[in-house]
């Protein structure tokens, strides 16, 4: 008990419709680097958010340094010496390193004004503590990403943290920067700090961590010392062991290629991506968070510009430089973040559904609203969209129904290729299955669908083939009918090996 910095016992937390954490227990020794890994949605982030006081668990107890505590908010967590180094940089880019380190925790003089001399002196102390040399008076935006990350660590230390949570800190770092980060982590460990390290790089875990806890479906699947675990074993524990025998039949798809992507790259995002999608195929793109799948399809659809590579669509070499161009060619795109990129909250269901058809239905007398109303009624009925009426504001609909409206938007335009990014994120189970059925029946009728999803089960049940990506590179292809979740993880996480087929 004495050498435990943190002990969480029997933590349970549910969200509407999901049990995110089921009886999770987690222990962190003093001076230990403890990896927390698992697939997307396994519960890592939820567990850490519980620790940070962002979520309140329904059941469970938390002990910090052997003392039981109630963490009701982030303020409590910080007071207990728990600090999070977030994955995304959360510094103020225009402020200096010293200012950032003490933001919200300023060194004040007796008049309540900020004591700048003290600020930079103390900032230096914390920067030295992590054993690197950073000019504390430098403006943060002039530092490299790696150094900005170190500033975040210094800030966490300045807030008095002795339990540090690193959320995928290496995701955006280069090789030598990772080495620097590891040096800092070892330094902190020697000072007796305890670190929770969340990462998808299994090779890294072998190098830096002492213990590994593997989560799966909101439960702890396995915990052991790092030296006892091999990469293969880790992957087995991450995947669902009782993998369902796939009852899926192999669907016959056309030999004709509708979209052919060759050596597509975009700087800092993805490199050398090549794949073909057949006519009428449901093509899945899988991988873990940070595999740059969304970035890839953004470039294909013309939202961002590619750095190099070519694309052929319907047998012709195309240069898609705007979504407008992609639509003209016959593509449609359902974005990942419905609220941010999908719906027009201030407009009605009818307008959200038919905005893509306005140009086609326009004449000198204006838009043919009779026709758009008819289209809307058609799709409300066909897709079973539950809405009070056509003119209701879309923001008042449930997530699943909003998603159906956005899908209909493209169906009404008769697109040939539909790109869906996380089509069932944040929608309830019923709507989810309705959307699955819809996608299947559309593909039967000859529509080609590309689906990006973090839910491997979704990809396996829905698609014909899956392309697995990891950190912006294609790691291989799988035939969904013959594959299981473990295969996807193996492909994503193992080094390039003999998994290339197709």
Partner 1 sequence: MKIKMNSKISSILKKSNSSSASMITIVLIVMCIGLNLINNAFLSKYNVSTLIRTASFTTIVAFGQTLVLLTGGIDLSVAGIAGVSGIISAWLMVNTGINPFLCILITIMAGFAAGCINGLIITKVKLVPFIVTLATGEIFGGLIYLITQGWPIQNIPASVTVLGRGMVGMIPVPVIIMLIIGIALMIVLKYFPFGRYIYALGGNENAARITGVKTDKIKIIVYGLSGLLSAIAGILITCRLGAAQPSVGSGWVMPSVH
Residues making contact with partner 1 (CB under 8 A): 301, 303, 322-324, 327-328, 333, 335, 340-347, 351, 355-356, 358-359, 362, 365-367, 369, 409
> To the nearest 5 percent, what fractions of the chain are helix, strand and coil?
35, 25, 35
**In the bound complex, what is the minimum distance in angstroms from residue 215's beta carbon to partner 1?**
33
**In the bound complex, what is the minimum distance in angstroms from residue 285's beta carbon to partner 1?**
18
**In the bound complex, what is the minimum distance in angstroms from residue 254's beta carbon to partner 1?**
27
Q: Which is nearer to partner 1, 343 or 449 (CB)?
A: 343
Question: Rounded to a whole number, what is the distance in angstroms from the first to the last CA of the chain?
Answer: 53
**Do 246 and 452 touch, CB atoms closer than 8 A?**
no
Q: Which is nearer to partner 1, 145 or 346 (CB)?
A: 346
**In the bound complex, what is the minimum distance in angstroms from residue 193's beta carbon to partner 1?**
41
What's the chain's Rg over C-alpha atoms?
A: 25
**In the bound complex, what is the minimum distance in angstroms from residue 325's beta carbon to partner 1?**
9
Q: Which is nearer to partner 1, 341 or 389 (CB)?
A: 341
Q: Which is nearer to partner 1, 396 or 495 (CB)?
A: 396
Q: How far apart are CA 401 and CA 338, in angstroms?
A: 11
441's CB contacts (< 8 A; 6+ apart) are: none
CA distances to 11, 12, 42, 58 from 55, rounded to whole Å, are 11, 11, 16, 10
Q: What does DSSP say about strands 362-363 and 366-367: parallel, antiparallel, or unpaired?
A: antiparallel
Residues 315-330 as b/e (b if ≥16 CB within 10 A, e otherwise) read eeebebeeeeebbebb
**In the bound complex, what is the minimum distance in angstroms from residue 343's beta carbon to partner 1?**
6
Q: If you search the block for the tokens 């103390």, which residue do you land on?
A: 122
Tokens coding 375: 């289209």
**In the bound complex, what is the minimum distance in angstroms from residue 359's beta carbon to partner 1?**
6
Q: Which is nearer to partner 1, 301 or 379 (CB)?
A: 301
**Do 309 and 265 touch, CB atoms closer than 8 A?**
yes
Q: Which is nearer to partner 1, 257 or 303 (CB)?
A: 303
Q: Which is nearer to partner 1, 349 or 466 (CB)?
A: 349
């Amino acid at each position: 008990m004495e050498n435990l910095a943190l002990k969480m016992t029997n933590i349970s937390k549910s969200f509407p419709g999901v049990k995110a954490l089921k009886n999770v227990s987690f222990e962190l020794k003093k001076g230990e680097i403890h990896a927390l890994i698992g697939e997307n949605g396994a519960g890592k982030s939820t567990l850490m958010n519980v620790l940070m006081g962002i979520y309140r668990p329904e059941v469970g107890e938390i002990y910090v340094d052997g003392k039981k505590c109630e963490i009701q908010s982030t303020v409590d967590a910080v007071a207990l010496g728990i600090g999070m180094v977030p994955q995304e940089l959360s510094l103020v880019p225009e402020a200096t390193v010293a200012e950032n380190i003490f933001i919200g925790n300023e060194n004040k003089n007796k008049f309540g004004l900020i004591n700048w001399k003290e600020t930079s002196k103390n900032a230096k102390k914390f920067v030295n503590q992590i054993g690197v040399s950073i000019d504390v008076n430098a403006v943060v935006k002039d530092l490299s990403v790696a150094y900005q990350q170190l500033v975040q660590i210094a800030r966490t230390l300045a807030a008095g943290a002795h339990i540090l949570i690193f959320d995928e800190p290496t995701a955006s770092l280069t090789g030598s920067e990772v080495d620097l980060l590891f040096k800092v982590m070892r330094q902190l460990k020697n000072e007796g700090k305890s670190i929770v390290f969340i990462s998808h790089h299994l090779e890294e875990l072998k190098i830096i961590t002492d213990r590994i806890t593997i989560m799966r479906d909101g439960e702890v699947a396995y915990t052991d010392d790092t030296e006892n675990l091999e990469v293969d074993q880790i992957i087995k524990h991450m995947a669902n062991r009782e993998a369902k025998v796939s009852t899926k039949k192999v669907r016959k798809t056309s030999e004709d290629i509708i979209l052919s992507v060759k050596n597509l790259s975009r700087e800092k995002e993805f490199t050398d991506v090549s794949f073909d999608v057949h006519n009428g195929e449901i093509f899945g793109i899988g991988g873990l968070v940070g595999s740059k799948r969304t970035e890839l399809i953004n470039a294909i659809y013309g939202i961002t510009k590619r750095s190099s590579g070519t694309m052929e669509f319907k047998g012709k070499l195309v240069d898609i430089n705007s979504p407008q161009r992609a639509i003209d060619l016959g593509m449609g795109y359902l974005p990942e973040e419905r609220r941010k990129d999908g719906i027009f909250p201030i407009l009605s269901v009818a307008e959200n559904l038919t905005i893509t058809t306005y140009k086609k239905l326009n004449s000198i007398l204006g838009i043919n609203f009779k026709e758009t109303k008819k289209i809307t009624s058609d799709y409300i009925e066909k897709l079973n969209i539950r809405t009070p009426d056509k003119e209701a504001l879309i923001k008042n609909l449930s997530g699943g129904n909003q998603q159906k409206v956005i899908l209909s938007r493209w169906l009404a335009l008769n697109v040939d290729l539909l790109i869906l990014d996380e089509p069932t994120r944040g929608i309830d189970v019923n709507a989810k299955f309705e959307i699955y059925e819809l996608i299947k029946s559309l593909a039967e009728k000859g529509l080609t669908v590309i689906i990006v999803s973090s839910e491997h089960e979704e990809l396996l049940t829905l698609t014909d083939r899956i392309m697995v990506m990891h950190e912006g590179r294609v790691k291989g292809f799988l035939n969904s009918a013959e594959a299981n979740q473990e295969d996807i993880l193996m492909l994503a996480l193992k080094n390039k090996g003999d998994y290339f087929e197709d």
